[in-house]
Chain A
């Protein structure tokens, strides 16, 4: 394999992995606080259409990312209000949020399909990335570096800060955290909002990083893969990074199987398209065979907090 091809592969994999990584990091923090938000896919779509419309009308990519994050937070607050303030069923509410996000983004995106925007360009000046090897390090857009920095930030926050400790306490034992005086609901609201912002930014990656246009349901289940990835990574940020890149590899495999020729290139493209979803199942099964995997789940995950009972 030539160096050129290898570099091209790395760059595509990084691009495909970035939205999953960002969304999964958000969901990881939400789940660590004891909340299961299955609305990631819906919040991503809300973020994707917001980012598209803002880029289309203003041409400012960074404004688009900020607005997508805001839209994700707004969508997550529907979920937060229902599950945290009204203790509604988290599974059902998350599903409803995904259905809502799909409908909302389709409605808001009316008339925008097949209209192009420009992709977000590389963060560093082109001179830094002239040599192919340097391109692997310095050739990406800000969203990619953001995702990598956030892996460290989330890890540091959860493991090394007091606020992170409180968040984990709320997720492991909400009643104890409540009785020492922490606001369980307040912490969970903050976590859900963070998850919403990250899902919104993850959605923004689709029009700004991958395909410079709007298409209905353009996230194509990547939000669900992000949820699965959190389980796969047993709630650990650095494993999440590895998992996201593994999925990016699976998702882009068709490109180089076709390029490489040989027996792989005769596999029907539909099977390649189904591969990330099948790989998710395989990975979930493999991780469950190892006994300790689910034991790392936050103890209060998905349980509503009702102190007055």
Chain B
């Protein structure tokens, strides 16, 4: 029996929206086989990584806290990728947002005031947007590839953290540890569910996604982004400026990544440490794709990715699976998703073997 690919008249919506789910299921199936093959308890690994975080209610707060930065960054990236702007330096923009918020927190240390936390959030927005403005400037002025510039800036920003916490921002009472002092209580993100680690960033993430969904599906800006991304020639005829869209896409995705950085440093971290870059910015790339570049989809994709993070930690303690295993599961998910995309545009058609008459 042979198969042939035949182009669909219209892209299949059924495949488009079921592909992420199928990708997750295929990842669980092949993940179990691969991890068994290399000598781990494969079925156990899949159970701990994908199911324990859902069935064990004690893990739900971890899920919420890990999913929120992924959702916030993923929403921004999904808009940028829709516009065909490949910002893959979200990790660097997240870092710069965290550093900008830290700077405000350190400057205002000892002052009281309800305004400190909002000021830190604004600093996070601006820090991330300013860092994304660099690739935007070079892309629009000189057509320099934004993938390379945004990524190189990420590597540079990691070194900036190392420098700041080692020298000028180092906590004088920190017993020599390279880290800043713990933020004053005015600079810490409030907890919203007593007795848990769930902070205000969790509902904010959902709100960001809902607002982005509304803007993308109901506003001229959303329409412009989609047209510039999918049909640049038509966009030019329609009077949409490509450069303006590139600027907006990068500034917006950078600002959201920076905002996530400000939330993280004032929430879970409570101070700036060298371990602040936790790959949220890179994982959010997978989140954006798994969410089909749709802000509502990003909410679900963010939760799925958070499951693999939390589950990866569970599997580390229960069955001794190394932490890097969740990265393999995450990339497998993206591989399956990208492979499945061909079925959105094409269908598999059975071809009758030659010489065999078929009605």
Q: Please, how many angstroms separate the alpha-carbon atoms of A123 and B160 in the complex?
A: 40
Mark the stretch among B59-67, B97-105, B229-237, B320-328 that contacts chain A.
B320-328
Q: Contact between B156 and A95 (Cβ–Cβ < 8 Å)?
A: no
Quote the shortest CB–CB distance from B59 to chain A (angstroms): 22
Q: Among A91, A100, A285, point to the contact of B335 (Cβ < 8 A).
A: A100
Chain B window 304-340, contacts with chain A (Cβ cutoff 8 Å), 1 for yes, 0 for no? 0000000000000000001111111011101100110
Q: Contact between A284 and B338 (Cβ–Cβ < 8 Å)?
A: no
Quote the shortest CB–CB distance from A46 to chain B (angstroms): 12
Q: Does B149 contact A (CB under 8 A)?
A: yes
Q: Contact between B88 and A95 (Cβ–Cβ < 8 Å)?
A: yes
Q: Please, how many angstroms separate the alpha-carbon atoms of A285 and B324 in the complex?
A: 35
Q: Contact between B145 and A284 (Cβ–Cβ < 8 Å)?
A: yes
Q: Please, how many angstroms separate the alpha-carbon atoms of A89 and B292 in the complex?
A: 13
Chain B window 7-21, contacts with chain A (Cβ cutoff 8 Å), 1 for yes, 0 for no? 100000000000000
Q: Does B86 contact A (CB under 8 A)?
A: yes
Mark the stretch among B136-144, B245-253, B258-266 that contacts chain A.
B136-144
Q: In chain A, what residue has the closest Cβ to B148?
A: A228
Q: Contact between B152 and A288 (Cβ–Cβ < 8 Å)?
A: no
Which A residues lie within 8 Å of B145 (CB)? 228, 231, 284
Q: Does A88 contact B (CB under 8 A)?
A: yes
Q: Among B38, B324, B330, B338, point to the contact of A92 (Cβ < 8 A).
A: B338
Quote the shortest CB–CB distance from A221 to chain B (angstroms): 5
Q: Please, how many angstroms separate the alpha-carbon atoms of A74 and B155 in the complex?
A: 28
What is the total of A-B residue contacts with beta carbons within 8 Å? 128
Chain B window 332-359, contacts with chain A (Cβ cutoff 8 Å), 1 for yes, 0 for no? 1011001101100000000000000000
Mark the stretch among B49-57, B113-121, B161-169, B216-224 that contacts chain A.
B161-169
Chain A window 74-102, contacts with chain B (Cβ cutoff 8 Å), 1 for yes, 0 for no? 00001001100011110111011101101
A96 in contact with B142 given A103-B330, A270-B163, A274-B159 (CB within 8 Å): no
Q: Contact between A107 and B322 (Cβ–Cβ < 8 Å)?
A: yes
A281 in contact with B149 given A78-B335, A100-B328, A100-B332 (CB within 8 Å): yes
Chain B window 165-177, contacts with chain A (Cβ cutoff 8 Å), 1 for yes, 0 for no? 0110000000000
Q: Contact between B143 and A268 (Cβ–Cβ < 8 Å)?
A: no
Q: Contact between B325 and A103 (Cβ–Cβ < 8 Å)?
A: yes
Q: Contact between B330 and A107 (Cβ–Cβ < 8 Å)?
A: no
Q: Contact between A99 and B152 (Cβ–Cβ < 8 Å)?
A: no
Chain A window 88-127, contacts with chain B (Cβ cutoff 8 Å), 1 for yes, 0 for no? 1101110111011011101100100000000000000000
Main secondary structure of the interface of A (DSSP, over half): helix
Q: In chain A, what residue has the closest Cβ to B342?
A: A86
Which B residues lie within 8 Å of A220 (CB)? 155
Q: Contact between A88 and B342 (Cβ–Cβ < 8 Å)?
A: yes
Q: Contact between B338 and A93 (Cβ–Cβ < 8 Å)?
A: yes
Count class of interface residues, chain B: 35 or more
Q: Please, how many angstroms separate the alpha-carbon atoms of A38 and B142 in the complex?
A: 21
Q: Contact between B151 and A224 (Cβ–Cβ < 8 Å)?
A: yes
Q: Contact between B160 and A274 (Cβ–Cβ < 8 Å)?
A: yes
A96 in contact with B334 given A103-B327, A224-B152, A231-B145 (CB within 8 Å): yes
Q: Among B38, B138, B156, point to the contact of A277 (Cβ < 8 A).
A: B156
Q: Does B286 contact A (CB under 8 A)?
A: yes
Q: Contact between B341 and A281 (Cβ–Cβ < 8 Å)?
A: no
Q: Does A12 contact B (CB under 8 A)?
A: no
Main secondary structure of the interface of B (DSSP, over half): helix
Q: Contact between A221 and B155 (Cβ–Cβ < 8 Å)?
A: yes
Q: Please, how many angstroms separate the alpha-carbon atoms of A295 and B60 in the complex?
A: 52
Which A residues lie within 8 Å of B240 (CB)? none
Which B residues lie within 8 Å of A309 (CB)? 7
Q: Does A227 contact B (CB under 8 A)?
A: yes
Q: Contact between A288 and B143 (Cβ–Cβ < 8 Å)?
A: yes
Q: Contact between B155 and A103 (Cβ–Cβ < 8 Å)?
A: no
**Beta-carbon contacts under 8 Å, B123-158 to A:** 134, 138, 142-145, 147-149, 151-153, 155-156
Q: Contact between B151 and A268 (Cβ–Cβ < 8 Å)?
A: no
Q: Contact between B144 and A284 (Cβ–Cβ < 8 Å)?
A: yes
Q: Does B289 contact A (CB under 8 A)?
A: yes
Q: Does B282 contact A (CB under 8 A)?
A: yes
**Beta-carbon contacts under 8 Å, A133-168 to B:** none
Q: Contact between B338 and A268 (Cβ–Cβ < 8 Å)?
A: no
Q: Contact between A281 and B153 (Cβ–Cβ < 8 Å)?
A: yes
Which B residues lie within 8 Å of A270 (CB)? 159-160, 162-163, 166
Quote the shortest CB–CB distance from B280 to chain A (angstroms): 13
Q: Does B285 contact A (CB under 8 A)?
A: yes
Which B residues lie within 8 Å of A106 (CB)? 322-324, 327
Q: Contact between A102 and B149 (Cβ–Cβ < 8 Å)?
A: no
Q: In chain B, what residue has the closest Cβ to A224?
A: B151
- Most chain B Cβ neighbours within 10 Å, of A78, A82, A92, A100: A92
Q: Please, how many angstroms separate the alpha-carbon atoms of A95 and B330 in the complex?
A: 12
**Beta-carbon contacts under 8 Å, A44-96 to B:** 78, 81-82, 86-89, 91-93, 95-96
Additional A-B contact list (7), CB under 8 Å, known A99-B331, A268-B167: A87-B342, A88-B342, A89-B338, A100-B328, A103-B325, A103-B328, A271-B163
Offer 25 A-B interface pairs, CB within 8 angstroms, sorted by A: A81-B339, A82-B338, A88-B342, A95-B285, A96-B334, A99-B327, A100-B335, A102-B324, A103-B326, A104-B328, A106-B322, A107-B322, A110-B322, A221-B152, A228-B152, A231-B148, A268-B163, A270-B159, A270-B163, A271-B159, A271-B163, A273-B159, A274-B155, A277-B155, A288-B143
The 6 closest A-B pairs by CB, nearest first: A103-B327, A106-B324, A100-B331, A270-B163, A288-B142, A274-B159
